[in-house]
Each structure stands twice: as C-alpha cells, then as structure tokens.
Homo-oligomer: A and B are copies of this chain.
Amino acid sequence: MKRSDRLVSLTNYFLENPKEHTSLPYFSDKYGAAKSSVSEDLAIVDRVMQEEGIGHLQTLPGASGGVSFIPGYSMENGNRFIAELCTTMEDPARILPGGYLYMSDILGDPRMVNKIGRVLASAFSNLEIDVIMTVATKGIPLAYAVASVLNVPVVIVRRDPRVTEGSSVSINYVSGSSRKIQTMVLPKRSLHDNANVCIIDDFMKAGGTINGMISLLNEFNANVQAIGVLAEADDEEDERVVENYTSLVKITNVDMKQKTIEVHPGNVADRS
C-alpha cells in the first residue's frame, strides 16, 4: 500500500480505536510496509491531528512499543463550541414551567452530543477512568459520547429494576430540588470492586441525583474520579450538595415572566 493510502487507513483506524495500544509490526504487516515507513506515516498523522486540535498519537518505544491515539479536543475548538452552545441555549422558547429548560433537541442531535462528549472527555483524559456511569434517561447519550472517546464501558443507573439485568443493588436518596425520597438501582454485574468511575449527566440543579449516584457507588466500593454535566443551574449554588464537578455551561437568571435566560460557559473553560 502506498503512503497516501496508508494515511487514510491509519487515520480511520485511530479514530475508530481511541486509547487502544497497537504495535508497529501490526501496521507493517497490514500494509506490507517497512517499520521506518510506518513511523514516518505516524509522525504525519500525529502532527495533523495536533494541528486540527483533535488529539495526538502517543508512542511507546521498546520491544512492547507501539502507538495509541489520545483524543483531545483543543481549548480553542472546545471554547468555540461552548460559545455556540450558550447562544443556542439562550433561546427564550426553551423555558419550561418550573424554570426547566427544553434541551431535547440538543440532546437529540448526535453531532452535538458527540462534541459535548469530546469536550468532557478531554477534560478527563489525564484521569484513570474504568467506566462511565449515568442515570436514565437524558444522561445516556452524553455518557456514551464520553465513553466512546475514552474507550471505556457505560453503566446505567435506573429508577426501577428490570428483569433483564439480573440481581441488583438499590439505594434511596433525597432529590435535591423536589425533596422527595427516590430509589436508584444498579445491576450487581455492572461494576467490579474498586472501579474508577466518571459520572456524567445532562443537568445539575442542587445535585441530589448525582449525590445519589455517589452513594450508590459507595455500595460498590467504587471511586468517583470525575463528575461531568452539560449544564448546571447557577441559582441553586447555595443548596448544592456536590463539589468538584465539571460543567460545559451555566444557566443563570431564568426569568419566567420576562421570558429571558442567560447561559454562560461553565467551569470547564477555567481548566487548562
């Protein structure tokens, strides 16, 4: 295979297999090319990926040497996307009774979801994460988008146990905004002991639901490594029960009467 063909094939391979360690001989065999040629190919792919702000190739030397693609959305790409997101979300037609915001169109657009996932995954790319956890329903697409980039599995907490998941562990928790006692369930098979978990959800007000997930993780002896949300409601900061989270956007000053709303970049923009 010629270099030009190899570059197309390699780019596709890395995007499909993020964070996967692959040896140089694998590529030499696949393409019938010398290791030195493959090394040159990899240098080109690495450089262009960095220039485009989508990630880089990590090379390990030695006998067990090889290469893996580390996805990373550049701050520039990330901030531009967050600014667009703020504008989209400030549309007054989104305001629903109770100060909630209609976001189903954003969460229903796979390309939006994939970009949100990339920004969150980039914020967590230096952490050791074994699994992404979310709660049904709205957080699910975001959880998969983050998990696709970090190449780890997703576990889904439910509010009702299902026969199709086997035995499960459940806890009760107090919902932050409604002060109601609710139940959360996670199948026993979902998590191994001492798993490093990243919690992802779409929206955080006081943080009761996320706090519930943390309690549930304690039952599994798991470690909460990171918490990422698409949007946080700034108004509830006094009552917030969760700390150390990463948000893409912050919703403030929802005025039901005037039908106005402000959306600002969340704390993910503060990270470097």
**A11-B17 Cα distance, complex, nearest whole Å:** 15
**A17-B114 Cα distance, complex, nearest whole Å:** 11
A213 sits at the interface (CB 8 A):
no
**A229-B130 Cα distance, complex, nearest whole Å:** 28
* Nearest Cβ on chain B to A68's Cβ, whole angstroms: 14
Partner of A141, one of B16, B45, B102, B154: B154
Instruction: State whether A48 touches B136 (Cβ < 8 A).
Output: no
**A31-B84 Cα distance, complex, nearest whole Å:** 24
A259 sits at the interface (CB 8 A):
no
Instruction: State whether A48 touches B5 (Cβ < 8 A).
Output: yes
Instruction: State whether A100 touches B164 (Cβ < 8 A).
Output: yes
Within 8 A of B (CB), among A76-124: 96-98, 100-105, 108-111, 113-114
Instruction: State whether B163 touches A104 (Cβ < 8 A).
Output: no
In the assembly, how many copies of this chain are there?
2
A7 sits at the interface (CB 8 A):
yes
- Given contacts A102-B164, A164-B102, whether A48 and B153 have CB atoms under 8 Å apart is no
- Given contacts A100-B164, A164-B100, A164-B103, whether A4 and B110 have CB atoms under 8 Å apart is no
- Residues on B with C-beta less than 8 A from A4 are 3-4, 7, 44
A173 sits at the interface (CB 8 A):
no
- Residues on B with C-beta less than 8 A from A44 are 4-5, 8
A165 sits at the interface (CB 8 A):
yes
Instruction: State whether B5 touches A11 (Cβ < 8 A).
Output: no
- With CB as the reference atom, state the residue of chain B lying closest to A143: B141
Instruction: State whether A12 touches B54 (Cβ < 8 A).
Output: yes
A47 sits at the interface (CB 8 A):
yes
- Residues on B with C-beta less than 8 A from A105 are 153, 189
Instruction: State whether A12 touches B9 (Cβ < 8 A).
Output: no
Instruction: State whether B9 touches A8 (Cβ < 8 A).
Output: no
- Residues on B with C-beta less than 8 A from A45 are 8
Known contacts A8-B45, A102-B189; 13 additional CB pairs below 8 A are A5-B47, A7-B8, A8-B48, A11-B12, A12-B15, A100-B163, A103-B164, A108-B153, A108-B155, A108-B190, A109-B153, A113-B144, A137-B156
